[in-house]
Amino acid sequence: MPSTTPPAPLLPNFVEGRWQTGTGPGLPLFDPVLGTELARVSSAGLNLPAAFAFAREQGGRALRALSYRERAALLGAVVDVLQARKDDYYAIATANSGTVTRDSAVDIDGGIFTLSTYARQGERLGDARCLRDGDRIRMGKDPLFQSQHILTPTPGVALFINAFNFPSWGLWEKAAPALLSGVPVIVKPATATAWLTQRMVQDVVDAGVLPPGALSVVCGSSAGLMDCLQPFDVVSFTGSADTARIIRSHPAVAERSVRCNIEADSLNSALLDPAATEGSEAFGLLVKEVVREMTVKSGQKCTAIRRIFVPRELFDATAQAIGAQLARVTVGNPRHGSVRMGSLVSREQADNVRAGLAQLKTEAGVLFDGSSVPLVDADPAVAACVAPTLLGCTEPSRADVLHRVEVFGPVATLMAYDDEAQALELIARGEGSLVCSVYSADPAFVARAALALAPLHGRVHAVSPDVASLHTGHGNVMPQSLHGGPGRAGGGEELGGLRALGFYHRRSAVQASTAALDALDALATSGHAFQP
């Protein structure tokens, strides 16, 4: 019998300063555990050029009329709005992302923490209207004519095209530096989990804490968004390498020089010191971190450990230790108190993970497979739950797929290496990753590895016994530290404290007399400057 359940309501978009519902049936969003339809999204029928013009002209002008300190206060106000409604966000995350509370926190509290960090850092920038980059530089023998590099907010809009795994953090980690810079934001969340992004924007808009046009949300199809970008706009994309290729080759980027930041997929590594032993603290720390990385958000973290490199003689012991801890991970309905790992975001993602796993298995054996244990309170025919799997390969230098295919789920591959040089060479086969963690009690080894790994990674995270209870976690992206990575990781850079503001500013050199540069300094801090 055909279902008589009516389609769920369409979530409205917020563009041109008003809520607008898209036309047509829209795309459905599901509860990935229960299989029920939760909401629909549609961007059909929106006047996107008008939406971008409104954000650029009204939002941008209003934001740039403020100082950094005043914009930092706006971020603080957004934090207050979101803090007050956190319970709603956790309920949405459980329903739409299938995450247990601890994993929802990574997204929700992680986003709010990032916003508050930028609110604090922005406050320190004071009443300036632009940023100085370095000191004045003499241009010749006579010191009267000098060059001053300055950073001014780009007079455009920031378009964010985001991935499904961080509907909250993915918005706020980008919006915080953009808004602090004075650049209005249009966010297009990934369809599968768009509800949380849409609700957060709705709460912030309804609270009236941001100027009109500062924050817009378009849910549903991405069609037409890139076409609206103009030369002073920027686009920040997070998602798969395939879509990244489309973004990079779009005329907006290729012809109109729209600045583009790409965060794509990544085969992040963990490296155990060759001198480690089975009973050493470094060994235990690696095992703990690998298990955490495989299971937090069911492995749907761009930074998650995918490849684990250990000395050959510790291969079996590491497999046993990781397997023993994975065996204690209960998988199923995140609403059930005993469940430690919820579901993936959709059945489609679960299918993708199984297909990726099959590819990896052509070059690796199975060391641990949690799939024989029944799911807790979830129907395997409906729920997008995938149990953790640890694969292993003792000859990784002969492998190809293992260094190339990212499986975006609770899957990692243990690999044996023979010496330090070989381990570093194998890590480099990932062709550029977001993060590599190093586990060692030897500062000299950490320093050597960090220097060798830094050019291939956005972040090197060293875990030694003295920081065992202090370190922030391999996969946790802290706003103070850089996020992004070279090569296949996309080549982007985000966060890193105030470094993130660089993406939303233009750097220019002003070459002038000392008197003119003095006048520029005065204008830049007077509250009247730089309103294009």
What is the nearest approach in angstroms of ligand NAP to the Cβ of residue 477? 8
- Among positions 476-515, residues that touch ligand NAP (CB under 6 A) are 490
Under the binding rule (CB under 6 A), the answer on residue 173 touching ligand NAP is: no
CA distances from 261 to 4, 230, 280, 337, 384 (A): 45, 15, 41, 40, 31
Any idea what DSSP says for residue 372?
G
What is the nearest approach in angstroms of ligand NAP to the Cβ of residue 166? 6
Under the binding rule (CB under 6 A), the answer on residue 233 touching ligand NAP is: no
Q: Which residues partner with 502 through β-bridges?
A: none
For 149-181, the three-class secondary structure string (H helix, E strand, C coil) is: EEEEECCCCEEEECCCCCCCHHHHHHHHHHHHH
Under the binding rule (CB under 6 A), the answer on residue 191 touching ligand NAP is: yes
- Which range binds ligand NAP by CB under 6 A, 82-90, 144-152, 188-196, 464-472? 188-196
Number of H helices, E strands in the chain: 15, 22
- Which range binds ligand NAP by CB under 6 A, 238-246, 409-417, 497-505, 516-524? 238-246
Residue whose token pair is 């024989």: 372
- Which range binds ligand NAP by CB under 6 A, 46-54, 237-245, 287-295, 503-511? 237-245
Q: Which is nearer to ligand NAP, 233 or 273 (CB)?
A: 233
Among 276, 294, 302, 517, binds ligand NAP (CB under 6 A): 302
Closest CA to 433 of 413, 409, 457, 412: 457
What is the nearest approach in angstroms of ligand NAP to the Cβ of residue 46? 14
Under the binding rule (CB under 6 A), the answer on residue 243 touching ligand NAP is: yes
- Among positions 404-443, residues that touch ligand NAP (CB under 6 A) are 406, 408, 434
3-state secondary structure of 474: coil
Is residue 411 within 8 A of residue 349, CB to CB? The reply is: no
Rounded to an integer, what distance in angstroms lies between the CA atom of residue 336 and that of residue 298?
16
Rounded to an integer, what distance in angstroms lies between the CA atom of residue 270 and that of residue 462?
10
CA distances from 114 to 170, 173, 183, 271 (A): 10, 6, 17, 28
Angle subtended by helix axes 101-123 and 194-207, to nearest 10: 40
- Which range binds ligand NAP by CB under 6 A, 263-271, 381-389, 392-400, 495-503? 263-271
Rounded to an integer, what distance in angstroms lies between the CA atom of residue 122 and that of residue 334?
37
What is the nearest approach in angstroms of ligand NAP to the Cβ of residue 315? 27
Among 84, 246, 327, 358, binds ligand NAP (CB under 6 A): 246
- Which range binds ligand NAP by CB under 6 A, 6-14, 160-168, 412-420, 518-526? 160-168
Among 33, 100, 190, 385, binds ligand NAP (CB under 6 A): 190
Report residue 331: phi and psi, to 5°.
-120, 140
Q: Which is nearer to ligand NAP, 166 or 283 (CB)?
A: 166
Entry field: residues in the chain: 532
Q: Which is nearer to ligand NAP, 164 or 315 (CB)?
A: 164
- Which range binds ligand NAP by CB under 6 A, 207-215, 236-244, 278-286, 382-390? 236-244
Q: Which residue is nearest to ligand NAP (CB)?
A: 239
Nearest 5°: the CA angle 406, 416, 485 is 35
Is residue 385 within 8 A of residue 280, CB to CB? The reply is: no
Among 26, 167, 177, 239, binds ligand NAP (CB under 6 A): 239
Full strand arrangement of the beta sheet holding 505-513: 131-138, 145-153, 505-513
What is the nearest approach in angstroms of ligand NAP to the Cβ of residue 219? 8
Under the binding rule (CB under 6 A), the answer on residue 263 touching ligand NAP is: yes
Catalytic entry in 173, 263, 293, 406: 263
Please spell the DSSP secondary structure of 411-440, one letter per residue: EEEEEEESSHHHHHHHHHTT-SEEEEEEE-
- 385 in catalytic set: no
Under the binding rule (CB under 6 A), the answer on residue 16 touching ligand NAP is: no
Under the binding rule (CB under 6 A), the answer on residue 162 touching ligand NAP is: yes
Catalytic entry in 302, 385, 393, 436: 302
Q: Where are the beta strands (DSSP E) in 206-320?
A: 215-217, 234-238, 259-263, 269-272, 307-311
Q: Which is nearer to ligand NAP, 152 or 191 (CB)?
A: 191
What is the nearest approach in angstroms of ligand NAP to the Cβ of residue 41? 8
Among 10, 51, 130, 163, binds ligand NAP (CB under 6 A): 163
Among 222, 320, 359, 397, binds ligand NAP (CB under 6 A): 222
Site string for ligand NAP, 369-408 (x = CB under 6 A): -------------------------------------x-x
CA distances from 124 to 18, 67, 72, 148, 524 (A): 33, 11, 9, 22, 16
What is the nearest approach in angstroms of ligand NAP to the Cβ of residue 406? 6
Tokens, residue 304: 């998650």
- 16 in catalytic set: no
What is the nearest approach in angstroms of ligand NAP to the Cβ of residue 408? 5
Q: Which is nearer to ligand NAP, 163 or 385 (CB)?
A: 163
Report residue 80: phi and psi, to 5°.
-60, -40
How many Cβ atoms sit within 10 Å of the Cβ of residue 206?
11
Binding site for ligand NAP (CB under 6 A): 161-166, 188, 190-191, 222, 238-240, 243, 246, 263-266, 302, 406, 408, 434, 490
Residues that are catalytic? 263, 302
